[in-house]
Homo-oligomer: A and B are copies of this chain.
């Protein structure tokens, strides 16, 4: 419990290698998590090779922890293995639709989170790379992923060189609804986000970016609609080229 509430993303690692036994334990914890129909439609690609990490780094926007962490885990939705089994067993199905993409994303994420917790329990630090979906086509090329294997998320894993402060969260009452969704009034919204806006780091982001408030930093600097459209278009084309359909 302590472990879960004390989670922080570690972005700075020692050069210490992760022992094979430790990595296996962590990965085994991953695949013990629940998954849809116990079909295990996922794969994990382990990257330790320095040159491979260098090739992947730009697709994770050159975040320094990609090269620095001894291990990078790319966690993928994988229907290729299952299809190969179906072919060997004289049957065939098609899981290339929106429902299965989302199912696969859920399963890959749950697996990833077990890996995080197991890692932290063994003294390792981890950081999710949300860039994985942004550049899934390019990452697939580097890792030689066949059709039907889609990188969903990635984790850098290693012994921490620096453990940052725990990050802020909205109050629990802002996230949890009882029996029915409790729609927010404007004054409730302002109350919910008050502490987040008042953080020194938030004030710094606002000042550095010349914006009026933190919400504008999010929408006009960090997560611009034009970027989101660009990356959705790229991802969508990639999925459609593999036979996925969304409707």
Is residue A163 within 8 Å, beta carbon to beta carbon, of the partner chain? Answer: no
In the complex, the answer to whether B246 meets A181 with C-beta atoms within 8 Å is no
Is residue A9 within 8 Å, beta carbon to beta carbon, of the partner chain? Answer: yes
In the complex, the answer to whether A175 meets B42 with C-beta atoms within 8 Å is yes
In the complex, the answer to whether A175 meets B105 with C-beta atoms within 8 Å is no
Q: List residues of chain B with CB within 8 A of the CB of A216.
A: 89-91
Given contacts A31-B169, A117-B4, contact A152 B25 (CB under 8 A): no
In the complex, the answer to whether A223 meets B37 with C-beta atoms within 8 Å is yes
In the complex, the answer to whether B52 meets A34 with C-beta atoms within 8 Å is no
Q: List residues of chain B with CB within 8 A of the CB of A42.
A: 175
* Count, chain A residues at interface, CB 8 A: 119
Is residue A49 within 8 Å, beta carbon to beta carbon, of the partner chain? Answer: yes
In the complex, the answer to whether A218 meets B43 with C-beta atoms within 8 Å is no
How far is A181 from B77 in the complex, measured between Cα atoms in Å?
Answer: 13
How far is A31 from B174 in the complex, measured between Cα atoms in Å?
Answer: 11
How far is A237 from B247 in the complex, measured between Cα atoms in Å?
Answer: 7
Q: Which residue of B lies closest to A74 (CB)?
A: B177
Is residue A190 within 8 Å, beta carbon to beta carbon, of the partner chain? Answer: yes
Given contacts A145-B181, A179-B47, contact A219 B106 (CB under 8 A): no
CB proximity to B under 8 Å, residues A19-52: 24-25, 27-29, 31-34, 36-40, 42-49, 52
Given contacts A98-B246, A99-B235, A232-B247, contact A172 B109 (CB under 8 A): no
CB proximity to B under 8 Å, residues A164-194: 167-170, 172, 174-181, 183-184, 186, 189-190, 192-193
Is residue A57 within 8 Å, beta carbon to beta carbon, of the partner chain? Answer: no
CB proximity to B under 8 Å, residues A84-100: 84-95, 97-100
Is residue A208 within 8 Å, beta carbon to beta carbon, of the partner chain? Answer: no
6 closest A-B pairs by CB: A109-B109, A89-B215, A93-B219, A113-B113, A4-B29, A97-B232
